[in-house]
Amino acid sequence: MQFGTWESAATVFVVLQATQFITGNAIEPLLTGARLALSPFMVVVAVFLGAFLWGIPGAFIGVPVLIVALTLCEQFPSSRPVAALLSGRDPDG
């Protein structure tokens, strides 16, 4: 109601939505993946899969579940290639 025209309000809305989309779908997964040694793609998949399976609470617990899976896979020699895929690292390195 503070804007003089509806175009100003629509412009603010579109800019905020674009910023949220870019931040949520590109920047945050890259930063989270780099900080947690996870593949950014797997971070996005974990959030979407968690949200698909359990709704909004699942979106919040998707990355912690991925971290648990990565930790468990790193503990056993037979599943270390899976851990390498989850982390985005070279399996030989």
Q: What's the confidence (pLDDT) of residue 35?
A: 73
pLDDT in tens, 4-25: 788 888 899 999 999 999 988 8
Evaluate if residue 1 carries a pLDDT over 60: no
- What does the DSSP assignment read for the chain? --SSSHHHHHHHHHHHHHHHHHIIIIIHHHHHHHHHT--HHHHHHHHHHHHHHHSHHHHHHHHHHHHHHHHHHHHSGGGHHHHHHHHT--TT-
pLDDT in tens, 24-47: 888 887 887 677 778 888 888 999
Q: What percent of the chain has pLDDT over 90?
A: 27
For 38, other C-beta atoms within 10 Å of its C-beta total 21
Give the whole-angstrom CA distance, residue 9 versus residue 6.
Answer: 5
